[in-house]
Copies of this chain bind each other. A is one copy, B any other.
């Protein structure tokens, strides 16, 4: 596993050269002027613009019920070039039929016209309630306002990060700097999550056969910028690998959204030499260094952002990294990790600080992975530590005391180690506990329909 460290820099999505961002309030939830409290008037529309045309890549929800903005992006990303993205929170524009498609396209058209771009080079993202058509008058005036506010200072990126939030309690952004063939290159990103989070994204929104059906499920949105020069196909391959080891490995509540989207724009202003073909972070004689370095940086950025989503998940108190080793196949390792990461009983035990290996082995046993009780190891460690305290070895309880096991699962973050001891395959899931706060938040308040998330 690569352990490269990347230099963190300020500025989020505007850290790379040639990017502008903004975030404004345009009342997408239609709170009106009278009812709008300070809290209600959170920014809800963001723009992200490259000063020059950029190569683009995307990953999208594999939910069969997918939102209009996702459909628009899937088509447009195929051309490999884009220059601007408009994103709103407060309304997912999902299950909105033909009107929804018309509205998603109109959002891009309004922006394209003002920026003098082809409409096809403008992308769109939405998150919020399902089944309500977009308040287009508000959205259009929001886009015009956001255009006036565009800028390349850290504050602009922070406002964009805030504008895409829904139930998130804080904005999520990152930027890193590294060297590619002698040139300084940066990658920046913003994302949002909180609930309805177990993304399973693919490049086309179609399900690969290997994707674990039924085990996928929140709206997460992520927008990445880089000044690296990279061909569109290489960028898509790099994004696919980065998402596979980050956003597609997280779960808050096991529900995959209709809107999950990751987009990356690469405008080439860093002036590094381009490369072509599939990128890979796995070291090999034939892989060229710039490719590897870029992949590792993109992997790092995506994983850090993905972990921010889990930590800020609805009602989340504890974050648990579930590591399954020794499965017969990658698919079985994945199924075992997801069964544990999504078990209501395991998640409530994490909330209680209870090292309940009985519930863990129960979940393994009903997963579609092959499990032999007499071979299973279960243990706990601090994050990224190899010092594992085992509670079960080859199906037998160890002599570790209940107090010590409780201490191992009491920190706000810990790792759960499961070895099935049946084969070579591994999988990891970044998971969260299940708390009363999650239930309370999501039961909503039917007397305040605006509180009911999509």
Binding site for B on A (CB under 8 A): 62-66, 92, 94-95, 97, 129-131, 195-196, 200, 212-217, 253-258, 335, 338-339, 343-345, 348-349, 351-354, 356-359, 361-368, 370-374, 376, 392, 395-397, 402, 406, 434-436, 438-440, 442-446, 449, 452, 454
Question: Within the complex, which residue of B97, B214, B344 is in contact with A442, where a contact is CB–CB below 8 Å?
Answer: B344
9 nearest A-B residue pairs (beta carbon): A130-B358, A352-B443, A65-B365, A348-B442, A213-B368, A63-B365, A256-B366, A436-B436, A253-B344
Question: Within the complex, which residue of B92, B359, B434, B442 is in contact with A454, where a contact is CB–CB below 8 Å?
Answer: B359
- Compute how far the CA of A344 lies from the CA of B435 in the bound complex, rounded to whole angstroms: 12
Judged by DSSP, the binding face of A is loop
- Compute how far the CA of A362 lies from the CA of B64 in the bound complex, rounded to whole angstroms: 8
Question: Within the complex, which residue of B65, B358, B438 is in contact with A131, where a contact is CB–CB below 8 Å?
Answer: B358
Contacts of A361 in B (CB 8 A): 65, 95, 130, 258
Query: What are 25 pairs between A and B in contact, CB < 8 Å?
Result: A64-B372, A95-B358, A97-B396, A130-B359, A131-B357, A131-B392, A196-B345, A213-B367, A214-B335, A214-B338, A214-B368, A216-B366, A255-B343, A255-B366, A258-B361, A258-B365, A344-B434, A348-B442, A348-B444, A353-B446, A354-B446, A354-B452, A356-B452, A359-B454, A402-B449
Copies of this chain in the oligomer: 2
User: Would you give the shortest CB distance from A80 to chain B, in whole angstroms?
Assistant: 28
Whether the Cβ atoms of B440 and A195 lie closer than 8 Å is no
- Compute how far the CA of A131 lies from the CA of B130 in the bound complex, rounded to whole angstroms: 44
Which of A215, A348, A367, A402 is packed against the most chain B CB atoms within 10 Å? A348
